[in-house]
Amino acid sequence: MRVALKASLVLVALTFATTNANAWFCTAESKNGASGTGFHFFKNESEKAALSECRSHSRGQRCRITSCW
């Protein structure tokens, strides 16, 4: 019984540890109004995705990260 309970608790913990609630969401903007968003489990990957999306719309304008949470 204790083994089953421990196994269940581990399974629940792993399930919550891999949900989107633990992922980063970042936004990037340029001066001409272009923007991009990024969503990833690692902050630096989320920032790269947001910058990449922003650059694809910015027509050569520089993009910067405006927020991450």
pLDDT in tens, 43-64: 999 999 999 999 999 999 999 9
pTM of the model: 0.70
Q: 25 with 69: CB under 8 angstroms?
A: yes
pLDDT digits over 1-40, tens only? 444 434 444 444 444 555 567 899 999 999 999 999 999 9
**Alpha-carbon distance 46 to 23, whole Å?**
9
Domain ranges of the chain: 20-68
Q: CA–CA distance from 30 to each of 9, 16, 17, 48, 52 (Å)? A: 46, 35, 34, 14, 12
